[in-house]
Amino acid sequence: MGQHNSIKTEYLATWLNEAKFVGSAHVPESVDNKLGDDDKIYFFFTERALEYDCYSEQVVSRVARVCKGDLGGARTLQRKWTSFLKARLVCSIPELQLHFNQLQSVFTLRTDHWRATQFYATFQARWGDVSVSAVCQYSIQDIQKVFDGHYKEYREQAQKWGRYSDTVPSPRPGSCITNFHRHHGMNSSMDLPDNTLNFAKKHPLMDDAVQPVQGRPLLVRKGVNFTTLAVHRTTGLNRKEYDVLFIGTGNGWMNKAVRIGSAVHLIEELQIFDKPYPVHSLVLSARRSFLFAGSPAGLVRLPMADCSKYRSCADCILARDPFCAWNLSASRCVESDNPYGDALRQDIESFDTSMCEVQYMKYSKPSSRNLTVAIGTNVVLPCELTSNLAQPIWKFNGQDLRPDDNDSVLYDITLQALVILGVNVHHSGTYSCFSVEQGAQFASKHYQLHVVASPSLTLESTAPMDGLGLVWMMVIALGAVCLALFLAVVYLRRKLQDEMEKGSKTLENTLVYPIQLPSQPKITKCLPSADSDEKLWDPSSYYYSDGSLKIVPGHALFQNSTGSSSPSGNGIPGQPLPSPPLHSPNHMLLSGVRGSSSNGYIRLTLGGGLNEERPPLGDLNEELRWKLKQRQALPDSNPEESSV
């Protein structure tokens, strides 16, 4: 491209409206082009449409196109795409009114020439409460016809969208630079006139929609979400080309299908991830014949052809896999590109198994079972089919089985078995099951049913009860578990009884020999006598209720007044003899108290009740007078008592 220029779309809802891009493709349309056209780049996306007359904006799928050499306009659409055009991408089932508007992925199938370019896309839609996915195919020529057709415009007076019917400016808006432009002196998009650019700015949407090949989807699946796909074109033994589709799903599966004419044949469904991880990408390596599948869990490499899974000639032919063919010489299914010459057999379109010679059709002999049941029993006869596409056919005594008038004989699709409700004697006979696929019929099972009147008889051979051995194993295992639990309960009960007996003996021995604890010796409380001094220091005897100290008459010895005075005395007559200080909580020295023959007492207050300072006293009279003065100042709780 030479010098790179930054080109973008116009900021208008008519250009892009909440677009979600899915994929893009570069198509070299300039190669061998007589018009001298430029290469194109196609974008696939979904957006909210504005052209529909509805209350809610509808989400639709789009394909847009720009020219590779677009440089933008000179004055109008500067650094904007001058060749931007878009059209709706349709994928629907018209008779069911089912439209697939959610574009999921796009794959570009390139060929030797760009005119044969094909686009395969996966879509998703909701049909009631069911999720439906589809695959549609588009050709580059159909897309070109739409972009060369009519434009759609918004009519402001009518306030609705419609086809533009007036004259289109020249040169055509949205087209690339061709020989016509160069002949008129327009060598790039910057030389385009303003009327062309203004029209391209207001009319980016085309009136027609791009329809799929054959006008309908190639493949539709219910309950499956197609997330991505990859397509490989191969050549069969008949020298025809076939497109093989590899489709990833949202639950970690890969569907392999082949496009045959206007239809698609599903070859196989393969689970490629252990857990339901969505397949986000598929990449083909045609040279090595590998397919790479990517998901959030990792990357998986798969072979594009796994022919060894087809064990017989009929299986190999009925698979209709273009990569596989049956080798008559080796009696096995091999890849069709191997040089085996005339020994290979393949029929993709008519899938005729008659080309398989009898000696090479190695089918195992159908198994036979004998079944004896009582009248009134419900019987189930399974039938093993060769593939998911095969259909069962039942025969009774060599004749096609017809349902009874009372519908007692029916085929259960879920069980893939023939069910006989309440068998009777006329149901006795031979039942044969055949697997039929694409016209080929193969015997699968034979049952010989005997109906007897006695209900005591049991099955002689259990054809429909192939899992009876498993049932007996489960019964035996359950019986063993029950026996083990019973023995455990007996053992625990016996052990509990032994423990209870031991406990009772121990209790009996304890009651016979009781333990006697020594009693605490009684302490005799000695009360003080009337003459004892201990009574004086009883707290209840020397305190008043207001905290004052009682002074009671005592019997202590006093010094003789005529004798020599003790050096420790204070010269006050009647002072008691000196004695060691008493250990009382309130030790006091009393002086100047008269003899013990008096029955009066002095009441003193502990601490300084009044803050009056004591004057110096010379004799006993002055001291008593001061005491009396102090006594009058105290609040006496007992006024009957005298001070002296």
The pLDDT tens digits for 8-17 are: 999 999 999 9
Residues 149, 234 share a domain: no
Average pLDDT estimate for 54-73: 87
Are residues 350 and 431 both part of a single domain?
no
Same domain flag for 239 and 312: yes
Ranges of beta strands (E only) in 216-374 are 219-222, 226-235, 241-249, 253-260, 263-271, 281-285, 290-295, 298-303, 324-327, 332-335, 344-345, 367-374
Range from 42-56, 239-253, 590-604 that averages highest in pLDDT: 239-253
Q: Are residues 92 and 180 in the same domain?
A: yes
Last-in-domain residue among 314, 334, 360: 360
Least-confidence region, from 55-64, 291-300, 403-412: 403-412
Q: Which domain holds residue 206?
A: 20-102+130-212
What pLDDT, on a 0 to 100 scale, did the predictor assign at position 459? 45
Query: Which of 306, 327, 360 is a domain's end point?
Result: 360
Residue that finishes a domain, picked among 467, 487, 519: 467
Q: Do both 255 and 356 map to the same domain?
A: yes
Q: Is the pLDDT of residue 447 over 90?
A: no
The residue assigned the tokens 């190639």 is 218
The pLDDT of residue 144 is above 90: yes
Determine, yes or no, domain membership for 316.
yes
Same domain, 386 and 461: yes
Q: Tell me what the mean pLDDT of segment 55-65 comes to.
A: 85
User: Do 551 and 439 belong together in one domain?
Assistant: no
- 469-473, 608-612, 625-629: least confidently modelled range: 608-612
Is residue 630 scored above 80 in pLDDT? no
pLDDT per residue as tens digits for the range 300-333:
999 998 898 888 888 888 889 999 999 888 888 9
Is 28 within a domain? Answer: yes
CATH number of residue 442's parent domain: 2.60.40.10
pLDDT band (50, 70, 90) for residue 564: very low
Residues 202 and 316 grouped into a single domain: no
pLDDT of residue 374: 85
Candidates 180, 153, 178; CA nearest to 167 is 153
Which CATH number fits the domain that encloses residue 158? Answer: 2.130.10.10
Mean pLDDT of 482-500: 88
Q: What is the mean pLDDT of residues 214-218?
A: 93
pLDDT of residue 18: 92
What average pLDDT does range 381-407 have in this prediction?
Answer: 73
Asked whether residue 485 is assigned to any structural domain, the reply reads no
Query: Is the peptide bond preceding residue 171 cis, with omega within 30 degrees of 0?
Result: yes
Q: How confident is the model at residue 180 (pLDDT cuts 50, 70, 90)?
A: very high
Q: Is residue 160 located within the same domain as residue 85? A: yes
Pick 506 or 240 by higher pLDDT: 240
- d(Cα 152, Cα 168) in Å, to the nearest integer? 12
Distance CA 41, CA 27 (A): 6
In whole angstroms, give the CA distance from residue 207 to residue 213: 19
490 φ/ψ sector (left φ>0, alpha ψ -120 to 50, else beta)? alpha
pTM beyond 0.75, yes or no: no
For the chain, what is the domain count? 4
**Banded pLDDT at 392 (limits 50, 70, 90):** confident
Check which CATH number belongs to the domain holding 350 and give it: 3.30.1680.10
Is 438 a member of any domain?
A: yes
Would you state the structure tokens that stand for residue 466, as one six-digit string? 């192939």
The region of weakest confidence among 262-276, 321-335, 440-454 is: 440-454
Task: Label residue 617 by pLDDT band (50, 70, 90).
Answer: low
**Same domain flag for 320 and 420:** no
> Between 302 and 574, where is the model more confident?
302
148 belongs to a structural domain: yes
> 566: pLDDT confidence band, cut at 50, 70 and 90?
very low
What proportion of the chain, given as a percentage, has pLDDT over 70? 71
Q: Determine, yes or no, domain membership for 601.
A: yes
Q: Which two tokens stand for residue 100?
A: 């697939």
pLDDT tens digits, residue range 508-525?
Answer: 444 444 444 445 445 444
Q: Do 396 and 372 sit in the same domain of this protein?
A: yes
Do 170 and 44 reside in the same domain of the chain? yes
At residue 23's C-alpha, the angle toward residues 17 and 28, to 5°, is: 115
Question: Taking all residues of the chain, what is their mean pLDDT, rounded to a whole number?
Answer: 78
- Residue 615 inside a domain? The answer is yes
| Contact criterion met (CB below 8 Å) for 267 and 256 | yes
- Asked if pLDDT for residue 563 goes beyond 50, the answer is no
Q: Domain for residue 513, yes or no? A: no
